[in-house]
Amino acid sequence: MSKIKVGIVGGTGYTGVELLRLLAQHTHVEITAITSRGEAGQRVSDMFPSLRGHVDLVFTDPAQADLKNCDLVFFATPNGIAMQQSQALLDAGVRVIDLAADFRIKDIPTWEKWYGMSHASPKLVAEAVYGLPEINREKIKNARLVANPGCYPTAVQLGFLPLLEAGVVDASHLIADAKSGVSGAGRKAEVHILLAEAADNFKAYAVSGHRHLPEISQGLASMNKGALGLTFVPHLTPMIRGIHATLYATLKNTQMDLQALFEKRYANEPFVDVLPEGAHPETRSVRGSNMCRIAVHQPQSGDTVVVLSVIDNLVKGAAGQAVHNMNLMFGVAEMTGLEQLALSP
């Protein structure tokens, strides 16, 4: 097959450079444009020496980039950009994957409340397919526009999915206790993510409400086929990459085989690894890979199920999942470009 011509809008952030790392090694991709207003004219490999010899492009001002000749454009931009630029690309026959949150939440007033701006393309929100392959694989294959899930929502939804689909827990009282590395805050200068502030420290934040909460609730409600109750508490940890979600729910039947339930649900999923009974997944076991590793526990054989779900927030939680979606959209083998093993140590 001919190569997929790809453009990246916003190539200087952590998700942008992670996209470049993965796409540069993808056998079916030709990267044709990378945009950045602030870095226009600079060689990509000068900003990111890790890409020397693999990405021979310069950053282009978005106004000058020839994105309409691409087959697919990734938006690795702040929230609020893709919703302004996607329609023109779609009209030109270009497919779009947005790694930000512009198209994830179907209820427009809810999105506007949590993201603090008016939505520029409500009609596209209705069309966009939520890009969690483990749920929407068939819809993604035919999509023009994919809303790539957030990092916390990926780890949490994959952890709760088998339980809610099977209807084996009380969905009115779900708890997601999640921790993220500092790269989840993006590549920007803010006091709370400075080395001296974030290192040797651990804290919860946004307990009263995090903007990923409505995205997670929307996905879980769809799995549950009805409303549910969710408490979501994120934490910042002193590491660069990784998300660890510890999930709690109350079982309706304490005698069921939870290990078998999870193994059966994910038996054919290439990027979800259900660990053996009694295991405890670590974030370093997925660092740099597109894998989600999950373990399910039933402490003291009681009525509480505890699910442990770990991902790399920049790969399975962002760029890797976007590449997986691209593979589905263009009929490429799902694991193409995503077979990297996790880095250890």
Q: Residue type at 342?
A: A
CA 86 – CA 68 distance, rounded (Å): 11
Q: Which of 68, 72, 70 is nearest to 98 (CA)?
A: 72
> Considering 4, 129, 132, 151, which one is annotated as catalytic?
151
Transcribe 84-122 into DSSP letters. HHHHHHHHTT-EEEE-SSTTT-S-HHHHHHHHTS--S-H
The pair of three-digit structure tokens given for residue 9, joined into one six-digit string: 């809008």
CB-based burial label for 342 (10 Å; 0-12, 13-18, 19+): middle
Residue 72 in contact with residue 330, Cβ under 8 Å?
yes
Q: Which of 242, 329, 222 is nearest to 292 (CA)?
A: 242
Q: Which helix (H) or strand (E) holds 224?
A: helix 213-224
Residue 263 CB coordination number (10 Å) = 17
Transcribe 277-342 into DSSP letters. TT----GGGTTTSS-EEEEEE-GGG-SEEEEEEEE-TTIIIIIHHHHHHHHHHTT--TTTT--PPP
CA 291 – CA 274 distance, rounded (Å): 10
CA 105 – CA 263 distance, rounded (Å): 29
Burial 43-61 (b: 16+ CB within 10 A, else e): ebbeebeebeeebebbbbe
| 292 assigned to active site | no
CB-based burial label for 179 (10 Å; 0-12, 13-18, 19+): buried
The pair of three-digit structure tokens given for residue 180, joined into one six-digit string: 């993220």
Catalytic residues: 151
